[in-house]
Structure 1
Amino acid sequence: MNGAQYQAIADDWERRATVRTRPRRLLEDDDKLIYPLCRQPLVLTATFLEHCPQWRDFVLVQSFYKFINDVVIFETEIVDKTARNIAKNRFSTPFPLACRYDAMTVVVDEDYHALVALDFLQQTVDKTGIPPIDLPAQIELSRALPAAHAQVPAHLRDALELMGVAIAENTVTQDVAAFSKDNSVKASIRGLMADHLSDEGRHAQFWTRLVRLYWQAASPEDRDSIALALPVFLENYLTNELQKTFDLELIEHLDVSPTLRNTLRDEVIALTFPITCQHPLVANIMGFLQHSGLLQTASVTQALSDYLPSPRRPI
């Protein structure tokens, strides 16, 4: 694999990595929200607003705990694993040393993000006196990667994991950016998101460059095999089923009447967020696939035709 055109992120990491440059952030005791209302549809349902608005803060705190839990799973169980394998030359396709060094900076960043997330979880428990309910053991990526792996030969599983992590890192960057700009949320949490965003923007560039490097060296046969697995990955990744399961569990912890609980359940179950080619997440993913070179491959374009505008316009 020729890494001559690879642009390293190490210098930028030395200057800007939050693990090197940011002080500890402390959760404020003010009237700002701990989690954006727009990210928790349960508290915006007609039944909740009319009959149990007093449970709003409890629901938002638990939703914040889930967000933190998702971050820890994502950073330590998935991204860390892939980046560490690349850094230690355990990846099925060896990368140049500059890539491996950059991968280790990602490992350091992601483990630090998980540490900061757990710090905020503990601070929130101490401030609110609200312990977390049982939190999910998986995130969408935990399901999407094995489902996609099942579609390819064993020698391509590392490559498909690289694609999946790169897609997720590019998606997370956009998601965190929106969170960091929500002025209804406590300043420390917006700062936490801004810190995270500073690192994730660099990570998104790293993964995009790494995928481009891999894709340029991949054989036509391997490219076509990966192309067929990408729709399976996206189908399992772009879903709100885990969030809906969590919200239904959350309803069980509300001290409300059985009738009201059933109504809340029905409203959560009825909430749908169809993922079409117009959805911002899909646009972000297609942008990544364009920039990393995959959408210049006919088999990828064909496999992902349901996610592309028709007729396809430049991303």
Structure 2
Amino acid sequence: MNLTDYRSIAEDWERRATIRTRPRRMLEDDEKLIYPLCRQPLVLTATFLEHCPQWRDFVLLQSFYKFINDVVIFETEIVDKTARSIAKNRFALPFPLVCRYDAMTVVVDEDYHALVALDFLQQTVEMTGVQPLDLPRQIELSRALPAAQAKAPPHLHNAVELIGVAIAENTVTQDVAAFSKDDSIKSSVRGMMADHLFDEGRHAQFWTRLVRLYWQAANPEDRDSIAHVLPTFLAHYLTNDLQKSFDLQLIEHLDVGTGIRQALRNEVHALDFPITRQHPLIGNIVGFLHHSGLLQTPSVAQALADYLPLAGRAA
């Protein structure tokens, strides 16, 4: 692999990583929200606003618990796994030592993010006395990666994993940024998200550079094979099916009448985010595909034409 274009994140990590520079954050007992209203459309539906606004804080609290749970799954079961394999030179794609060292900084960061998330979960349960409902054991990425790998030749499974994780790390940044800037949220939660964002920006750069290294060395046949499975990955990654299932579970725990419960279910079923260029995460994905070099490959632009009408122009 040609390391001419690769710039290590190690020095930046030494100076700025939140595990080295941030104190423990403590949850405030104040009137601010623990989770943004805009991230939980159930509480903004007409039926909810008219008939059960008293359940708002319960729904937001459980949504915060799910968010924490999703963070832990994402960081420890997926990103940590991939980064650790690269760091320990157990990945099918061999990377130079400088990349493996950088990968280990990502492992440290992601495990620390999971630790902080669990700390907030524990603090929240202690403060509210409300236990989490049964939380999902998967996130969208848990399904998207194996679905895409199943359509790729076995020797490309790790390459698909690398690109899928890189896409996720480049989209989570936008998600976290919106959370950290919401003034309606408790200051400590916003601070936690700002810390997370501080590290994720560095991670996004790392994964983009790593994918660019791989893509430059990949042969045309492997590039075309990977291009073929990218639509499958995006279809599973960008769906809101898991969120809908969680919201329907939440509705079952609300003390409301049968008619209102059914109306809430109907409104949740009606909530949809079509996977088109208007999807809120597509812009970040296009940026990643461009900066990593994938979008300059004709088969990638062609495969994603239905999702990314601007693919050709972005290249």
> Into which bin does the TM-score normalised by the smaller protein fall?
over 0.9
Q: What is the match of residue 182 of structure 1?
A: 182
Report the Cα distance in structure 2 between the residues aligned to 1:134 and 1:218, rounded to whole angstroms: 43
Matched, 1:198 2:195: no
SS at match of 2:281: helix
Aligned-partner residue type, residue 267 of structure 2: E
Distance apart, 1:256 and its partner CA? 1.1
- One-letter code aligned to 2:178: A
Alignment TM-score, normalising by the size of structure 2: 0.98
Which amino acid is 1:308 matched to? L
2:239 is aligned with 1:219: no
Amino acid in the other structure paired with 1:241: D
Deviations, residues 86-141 of structure 1 (Å, cap 9, x unaligned): 00001111100000000000000000000000000011111111100000000000
Q: Which residue identity does 2:130 align to in structure 1?
A: I
Give the match for residue 151 of structure 2: 151
Secondary structure of 2:156's counterpart equals helix
What does residue range 285-304 of structure 1 map to in structure 2 within 5 Å? 285-304=285-304
CA displacement 1:125-176 (0-9 Å, x = unmatched): 1111110000000000000000000111111000000000000000000100
Q: Distance between the aligned counterparts of 2:52 and 2:98, measured in 1?
A: 55
Letter in 2 for 1:155: H
Cα displacement (A) at 1:74: 0.2
Per-residue Cα deviation, 1:194-235 (whole angstroms, up to 9, x for no partner):
000000000000000000000000010100000001010001
Q: Distance in 1 between matches of 2:310 and 2:9?
A: 36
In structure 2, give the amino acid aligned to 1:252: E
Task: Indicate conservation of the 8 Å contact 2:62/2:133, yes or no.
Answer: yes
Query: Quick check: 2:286–2:311 contact (8 Å CA) kept in 1?
Result: no
In 2, Cα distance between the equivalents of 1:206 and 1:140? Answer: 22
How far off is 1:279 after superposition?
A: 2.4
Partner of 2:80: 80
- What is the aligned-residue RMSD (CA, Å)? 1.0
Structure 2 residues not aligned, in runs of 5+: none
Matching residue's letter, 2:176: V
User: Amino acid of the residue matched to residue 151 of structure 2?
Assistant: Q
Which residue matches 2:255? 255
Contact 2:301 2:311 in 1 (8 A): no
Paired with 1:175 and 1:278, the residues of 2 have a C-alpha distance of 15
- 1:310 Cα shift? 5.0
Q: Which moved more, 1:240-249 or 1:279-288?
A: 279-288
Aligned length: 315
Distance 2:154 2:271 in 1: 38
The one-letter code matched in structure 1 to 2:271 is L
Distance 1:298 1:314 in 2: 12
Shift of 1:311: 8.1
2:304/2:311 contact within 8 Å kept: no
One-letter code aligned to 1:61: L
Q: Is the 8 A contact 2:139 2:242 kept in 1?
A: yes
For the residues of structure 2 that align with 1:259 and 1:162, how far apart are their CA atoms? 47
Shift in Å, 1:2: 2.3
Which 5+ residue runs of structure 1 have no aligned equivalent?
A: none
Match of 1:209 in 2: 209
State the partner residue of 2:168. Answer: 168
Cα drift, residue 5 of structure 1? 2.8
Secondary structure at 1:95 match in 2? coil
Q: Which residue of 2 aligns with 1:35?
A: 35
**Residues in 2 aligned to 1:70 and 1:113: alpha-carbon distance in whole angstroms:** 12
Contact 2:47 2:264 in 1 (8 A): yes
Could you tell me whether the CA contact under 8 Å between 2:295 and 2:314 is conserved in 1? no
Cα distance in 2 for partners of 1:280, 1:151 equals 26
Corresponding residue for 1:93?
93
Report the Cα offset of residue 308 of structure 1: 2.0
User: Which residue of 1 is the match for residue 18 of structure 2?
Assistant: 18
Question: What residue is the counterpart of 1:109 in the other structure?
Answer: 109
Q: Distance in 2 between matches of 1:203 and 1:90?
A: 20
CA shift digits 1:37-69 (9 cap, x unpaired): 000000001111111111000000000000000
Aligned to 2:60: 60
Post-superposition offset of 1:3: 2.2
> Does the 8 Å contact 2:176/2:196 carry over to 1?
yes
1:234 is aligned to: 234
- Provide the rounded CA distance (Å) in 2 between the counterparts of 1:65 and 1:305: 36
